[in-house]
Chain A
Amino acid sequence: MNIKHEKMNTGRQKGQPVKARCAVWHLRLYIAGQTLKAVTAINNLKLICEEQLNGKYRIEVIDLLKQPHYAHDDNIYAIPTLRRKSPLPVISIIGDLSDTERVLVGLNLK
């Protein structure tokens, strides 16, 4: 129920899931140091992408401790943050992505 409703709301791609329309997904994961949460998030993200996107994705992990200006430029405050740069619209998901179901819904993969 809830899932369907969510799909309707993201609009534009009526009927077809987003993954079919876009060649390569560009995903960015912002972390701050190799913390437990960061590592968990990276692993979770890789797993989801492998399952859902058949290699048509690019994951960029940005460590804000090393590149702090990204925090300002991309308006990051919560860590970890996953941001879908493409396809549009930009979507952000915060947390270590341990709730796969919510990630899929959030990224409009389900």
Chain B
Amino acid sequence: MKKNNVMFKRNTLPKAPTSIQGFDEITGGGLPKGRPTLVCGGAGCGKTLFAMEFLVRGATLFDKPGVFISFEETEKELTANVASLGFDLDSLVAQKKIWLEHIRVDHKEIQQSGEYDLEGLFIRIHHAIESIGAKRVVLDTIETLFSWLPDARVLRAELQRLLRWLKKKGVTTIITAERGDGALTRHGLEEYVSDCVILLDHRVTEQSSIRRLRIVKYRGSTHGTNEYPFTIDADGFSVLPVTSLGLDYISSVERISTGIPRLDTMLSGKGYFRGSTMLVSGTAGTGKTSIAAQFAEAACKRGERVLFFTFEESPSQLVRNMLSIGIKLEPWEKKGLLKFHATRPTLYGLETHLATSIKLISKIKPDIVILDPINGFMIGENQTEVKTMLLRLVDFLKMKKVTAFFTSLTSESADMEIPDVHISSLIDTWLLVRDLEIGGERNRGLYVLKSRGMAHSNQIREFRLTNDGIELLDVYVGSEGVLTGSARLSQETKDDAEQLLRQQEIGSKQFGLERKRDAMEAQIIVLRSEFQAEEAEALKVIRIEKDINERFVQDKVKMGKSRRGDVTLKPGFAKRKNINIKKKVI
């Protein structure tokens, strides 16, 4: 354990955090502590600002006072220039957290006679450092000395001495320098600053400007080697690392409704995952924005905050249009739950868009972010850049557990799934809205192209915009194929009629059967009554025959008595006769 610690200490260069957004991430902690760093780049690329922000953040956040030695701008100019970024240099100077020192090098009044050195500069820097106990120093732009002072050989030697001296003092130093032709700096300063060299670049492609930062070298430390876009805005400098954000965010299992009950059903009954990324793509006028608006409204109803970036419509137009399909956004906007941010995608470069978005998201802290549509960014051949931008945005949103909802306009002619393939890997749930042209009309069909982590429906639903919002209907799937709209309606009517007919047939068949049963029952009754009548008749005859028989026996006995004969009847005789008669009756 102890050994490990020692190893760790030896391997890791102490760093001075800059707290410049994104910069510490790509450098693994900031600038090399106690060593000089060279920041070079062309005119207007933000060198001074980078250096100034390093000082101001150091002074305000890390309690590291800083000295700013300016060779170009006066103290007043500097203060005024960075005031627009929200840095109050005056008060920092008053608190002795920042020391501004302008070294005016005016060639008109300088002549040389004999040897000189820059001890005066050393004394001034030393005095400034001692006065406020500075830990950080900026020399901006020391190369100016080369332009105005004679004897470059002396200057070089003196600069080298200065850097060594600063290193010995243990102050973290930033030296800015103009970029030269074919070299990093005009006067080869990179030869002296061997610890860390940062290159800033400002270029214009496709009519939009892109600022980029690259760490050319960083001795004794690993660092990102890419060109990182950065922006300068009202909040200062921000570097937008592509890879600094990992894939280690925690995913939520919470599900949130899409605002369209049947769409929830299609997404295994519960809707989107919180913190996931949705894309709705489709051709023009298929209702992508409406799905987005419905989702926004549903979220607002739950009391969640929604940030709606609209790149095509103005907020008021969007609100008006959505009202026509019964989606009321205005009350939520008034309540402050729904925030719109409308800009033209072409207004500024991708990085600025990204930075603005990230800043707004950090400020508003929404639960849901909607970008409508993302296509506007794709100008010419910049798809890779758009993808990286969206990747960074998605990463950022996932880290913040913000649910993202993008819409994308696909071109009518091309295969609908192609234009979005570039970003499909970023998307968790992808809905496709497409036109289905059947029977001389055009209807919208919606289906779930993919949805990570849920058993989503594979069905195409007819998607309708009604006065009361979005409605999803089953499409007709039958012998005639997939039908929508009136074709579906007429097919359904046809089906209904057929069914009615069949039902009637069944009804009449059942009725006939009943009637038959009734007839049968009636016959049974008649037969039974006939039988009963016959039976009664027969019984009557039997009784009469029995009487006759008895009387005959009695008569025989009487006659026998009267004749005094001894004729006696055997007891079984009369009985047998009785049986015979019975049989006859039946």
CB interface residues, A 74-103, toward B, < 8 Å: 75-81, 89-100, 102-103
B120 in contact with A76 (CB, 8 Å): yes
Cα A34 to Cα B109 in complex, Å, equals 25
Interface residues of A (CB under 8 A from B): 30, 32-33, 35, 37, 40-41, 44, 64-65, 68-69, 71-72, 75-81, 89-100, 102-103, 105-106
Cα A94 to Cα B145 in complex, Å, equals 13
Identify the interface centre among B103, B109, B114, B116: most chain A CB within 10 Å of its CB. B114
Q: A71-B123, A78-B121, A94-B112 are in contact. List 9 more A-B contacts (CB 8 A).
A: A30-B120, A71-B127, A77-B118, A77-B145, A94-B110, A97-B113, A99-B114, A105-B111, A106-B113
Cβ of B117 under 8 Å from chain A? yes
Contacts of B452 in A (CB 8 A): none
Nearest-neighbor residue (CB-CB) of B117 within chain A: A79
A94 in contact with B116 (CB, 8 Å): yes
Contacts of A72 in B (CB 8 A): 101, 124, 127
Contacts of B117 in A (CB 8 A): 37, 78-79
Identify the interface centre among B101, B112, B127, B149: most chain A CB within 10 Å of its CB. B112
B114 in contact with A41 (CB, 8 Å): yes
With A72-B101, A78-B116, A80-B116 as known contacts, state yes or no: A91 contacts B121, CB within 8 Å. no
Cβ of B415 under 8 Å from chain A? no
Cα A74 to Cα B407 in complex, Å, equals 63
A81 in contact with B120 (CB, 8 Å): yes
Contacts of B114 in A (CB 8 A): 37, 40-41, 44, 95-99
Nearest-neighbor residue (CB-CB) of A83 within chain B: B109
Nearest-neighbor residue (CB-CB) of A69 within chain B: B127
Cα A92 to Cα B116 in complex, Å, equals 13
Contacts of A103 in B (CB 8 A): 113
Could you give 14 example pairs across A and B, Cβ below 8 Å? A64-B123, A71-B124, A75-B104, A79-B119, A80-B116, A90-B109, A92-B111, A94-B111, A95-B115, A95-B116, A98-B114, A99-B112, A99-B113, A106-B113
Contacts of B103 in A (CB 8 A): 75, 77
Cβ of B126 under 8 Å from chain A? yes
Cα A100 to Cα B111 in complex, Å, equals 12
Nearest-neighbor residue (CB-CB) of B149 within chain A: A78
Contacts of B115 in A (CB 8 A): 37, 95-96, 98
B111 in contact with A102 (CB, 8 Å): yes
Contacts of A95 in B (CB 8 A): 112-116
Residue of B101, B109, B120 near A78 (CB, 8 A) is B120
With A95-B115, A96-B115 as known contacts, state yes or no: A77 contacts B110, CB within 8 Å. no
With A68-B126, A68-B127, A75-B103 as known contacts, state yes or no: A98 contacts B120, CB within 8 Å. no
Nearest-neighbor residue (CB-CB) of A95 within chain B: B114
Contacts of A93 in B (CB 8 A): 110-113
With A93-B111, A97-B113 as known contacts, state yes or no: A68 contacts B119, CB within 8 Å. no
Cβ of B539 under 8 Å from chain A? no
Cα A34 to Cα B103 in complex, Å, equals 24
CB interface residues, B 159-194, toward A, < 8 Å: none
Identify the interface centre among B105, B113, B123: most chain A CB within 10 Å of its CB. B113
Nearest-neighbor residue (CB-CB) of B111 within chain A: A106
Contacts of B149 in A (CB 8 A): 78, 94
Contacts of B127 in A (CB 8 A): 68-69, 71-72
A32 in contact with B119 (CB, 8 Å): yes
Identify the interface centre among B109, B127, B149: most chain A CB within 10 Å of its CB. B109
B123 in contact with A68 (CB, 8 Å): yes
CB interface residues, B 94-113, toward A, < 8 Å: 101, 103-105, 109-113
B123 in contact with A32 (CB, 8 Å): yes
Contacts of A106 in B (CB 8 A): 111, 113
Cα A94 to Cα B126 in complex, Å, equals 21
Cα A83 to Cα B123 in complex, Å, equals 18
Cα A98 to Cα B113 in complex, Å, equals 6
A79 in contact with B113 (CB, 8 Å): no
B123-159: CB near A (< 8 Å → 1, else 0) gives 1101100000000000000000100010000000000
Residue of A32, A71, A102 near B112 (CB, 8 A) is A102
Cα A44 to Cα B204 in complex, Å, equals 56
- Shortest C-beta distance, B98 to chain A (Å), equals 15
B111 in contact with A79 (CB, 8 Å): no
Contacts of B105 in A (CB 8 A): 77
- Shortest C-beta distance, A44 to chain B (Å), equals 8
Cα A35 to Cα B120 in complex, Å, equals 13
Cα A44 to Cα B115 in complex, Å, equals 13
A65 in contact with B123 (CB, 8 Å): yes
Contacts of B101 in A (CB 8 A): 72
Cα A32 to Cα B121 in complex, Å, equals 11
Contacts of A68 in B (CB 8 A): 123-124, 126-127
A79 in contact with B112 (CB, 8 Å): no
Nearest-neighbor residue (CB-CB) of B150 within chain A: A94
- Shortest C-beta distance, A106 to chain B (Å), equals 4
Cα A98 to Cα B126 in complex, Å, equals 28
Identify the interface centre among B101, B105, B117, B122: most chain A CB within 10 Å of its CB. B117
B121 in contact with A77 (CB, 8 Å): yes
